[in-house]
Structure 1
Amino acid sequence: MQSPFIVELNEQNFRQVLEGSMQTPVLIHFWASMSQESADIIPQLQGLAQQYNGAFTLALLNCEQEQAIAAQFGVQALPTIALFINGQAVDGLGGPQTIEAIQTMLTKHLPSQDELSLNKALEFMQQGLHSQALGLLNELNEELKSKGEVKLAIADCLLETQQFDQAESQLQTIPLEYQDNYYKGLVAKLELHKQAADSPEIQALETALKASPQDVKLAADLALQYHQVNRDDEALELLWGYLKTDLNALDGDLKKAFMDILSALGQGNAIAAKYRRQLYSLLY
């Protein structure tokens, strides 16, 4: 398996690999083809290394081919697993093991999968990839998501992906001790959006529609304005109020505007999904 996290140990590289444990833990698996158990677990170990995505390096040592190295480590039985951190063996397992037992050993020394996902999400945010970061943050366990710094990161991603209502709800859950300059900056960003999203044009259309609620053209114009400032829930709710009684309102233009907004929001958007279901219930 080609992977930057998996290496075959030999005379040429084993010192370099061990020195690498100063930066990244190294899990050495001592095996040989004559030991069926030691050979059979290699694919699972490789899968584990891929799953941890660089949190440790898996080093495979074929004891038949590299007898001198195996002797240096004093290996007595196969399979043997040894975990090296900062150049020192810190843990190990001898004899046949399940992959679960090996993973349990690793969890004592390595970050959890959720912690790795959080670190990756923060990397994505620094790269401006807020949508990808948000996906990882939403998959974290509830304990991590309840931490103030994670709540702030989620709020930041929601603002950057223009999910302003959800961002506002998220910001309301930030504990007082986390309401620092980062928090205040996010609140200010939300306030700027709100000011832009309540323009004089929108206010004028809202007043006119309140006076003439049967004016479908006014409703369509207002919905378009809502959509342009990312008030999509309000835009769809407004359009749906007319469409549910007349799907062909404005000679079909209202339905087209409705579908255009759904399309712009994409398949993964929860608001769009809700209104798609309502539309399909009428169509079919």
Structure 2
Amino acid sequence: MQSPFIVELNEQNFRQVLEGSMQTPVLVHFWAPISQESAQVIPDLQMLAQQYNGAFTLALLNCEQEQMIASQFGVQAIPTIALFINGQAVDGMGGPQAIETIKEMLTKHLPSQDEMILKQASELIQSGEHAQALPLLEGLDNTVKQKGDVKLALASCYLETQKFDQAKALLEHIPLEYQDNLYKGLIAKLELHAQAANSPEIQSLEASLSQAPEDADIANKLALAYHQVNRDEEALELLWSYLKTNLNALDGEVKKSFMDILAALGQGNPIAGKYRRQLYSILY
């Protein structure tokens, strides 16, 4: 498996790899083709290294090919696992081990996967890559997502990706000790959006439509104004109220606006999915 987190140990690189444990822990797996159990666990170890995404380096030592190195380490049994941190062996196990047992050993010495994901997401947020950070944060365990700092990070991502309702729901439940300058800044952004989402233009169109509810032209303009400020569900519901009785409302303009908003929301959006199904129900 090609990976920057997995290396094959040999006489040329083993000192360099172990010196690397000064920066990143190194898990050495001593194995040999003659030992089926030592070979069988390698794919699981490789998968583990990928999941930890650089929190440790997996170093594989074929003891048949590299007998001199194996003897320097004083390996008594195959397989043997040894964890090196800061150039020193800090933990290890001899004999066949279940991958879960190896995970438990790593957990004692390495950051949890949730902590690593949080770190990665924080780095993305600092780089302004909120859309990339969002799925990482959403994939965290629910207990982790209840923490105040994680809620703030999620709210920041929701605001930057224009998911204002989700941001509002989170910011309403931030513990007092986390209501710092970051929190206040996010609240200010949310309030600015709320003001824009209920602009004088929208209020004027709403008033006009209430006076002439049958006017599809006003409704179409209002729906497009809603869409501009991410009030997409209201926009689609308004357009749908005309389309369900007349698919050719406003000479097809209402349907065009409806389809444009669906396209802008994309295939995976649940709101778009709901209204797409409703449209199909009367088309077919």
Mapped to 1, the partners of 2:154 and 2:274 lie a distance apart of 22
Query: Which 10-residue stretch deviates more, 15-24 or 52-61?
Result: 15-24
TM-score with structure 1 length normalisation? Answer: 0.95
- Residues 55-109 of structure 1: CA distance to partner in whole angstroms, max 9, x if unpaired? 1100011112222221121110100001111222122111112222222222222
Alignment of 1:202-281 (within 5 A): 202-281=202-281
- Residues 114-152 of structure 1: CA distance to partner in whole angstroms, max 9, x if unpaired? 222222222221222211211111111111100001100
Aligned residue in 2 for 1:33: 33
Mapped to 1, the partners of 2:130 and 2:167 lie a distance apart of 13
Aligned residue in 2 for 1:47: 47
TM-score with structure 2 length normalisation? Answer: 0.95
Alignment of 1:1-284 (within 5 A): 1-284=1-284
Deviation at 1:246, TM superposition (A): 2.3
Query: Which 10-residue stretch deviates more, 58-67 or 175-184?
Result: 58-67
Tell me, which stretches of 5 or more residues in structure 1 are unaligned? none
RMSD: 1.5
- Residues 143-182 of structure 1: CA distance to partner in whole angstroms, max 9, x if unpaired? 1100001100111011101111221112111111111100
Mapped to 1, the partners of 2:239 and 2:181 lie a distance apart of 39
Mapped to 2, the partners of 1:158 and 1:277 lie a distance apart of 26
Mapped to 1, the partners of 2:121 and 2:275 lie a distance apart of 30
- Look up the equivalent residue of 2:27 and give its one-letter code: L
Mapped to 2, the partners of 1:5 and 1:280 lie a distance apart of 49
Deviation at 1:268, TM superposition (A): 2.2
User: What SS does the aligned partner of 1:267 have?
Assistant: coil
- Look up the equivalent residue of 2:103 and give its one-letter code: Q
User: What SS does the aligned partner of 1:173 have?
Assistant: coil
Mapped to 1, the partners of 2:169 and 2:44 lie a distance apart of 42
User: What SS does the aligned partner of 2:259 have?
Assistant: helix
Deviation at 1:113, TM superposition (A): 2.3
- Look up the equivalent residue of 1:192 and give its one-letter code: L
Query: Which 10-residue stretch deviates more, 22-31 or 5-14?
Result: 5-14
User: What SS does the aligned partner of 1:108 have?
Assistant: helix
- Look up the equivalent residue of 1:280 and give its one-letter code: Y
User: What SS does the aligned partner of 2:22 have?
Assistant: coil
Mapped to 2, the partners of 1:67 and 1:208 lie a distance apart of 86
Mapped to 2, the partners of 1:96 and 1:62 lie a distance apart of 16
Mapped to 1, the partners of 2:220 and 2:147 lie a distance apart of 42
User: What SS does the aligned partner of 1:64 have?
Assistant: coil
- Residues 20-43 of structure 1: CA distance to partner in whole angstroms, max 9, x if unpaired? 112111100001122222122222
Deviation at 1:198, TM superposition (A): 2.0
Number of residue pairs matched? 284
Identity of aligned residues (%): 75
Mapped to 1, the partners of 2:149 and 2:79 lie a distance apart of 42
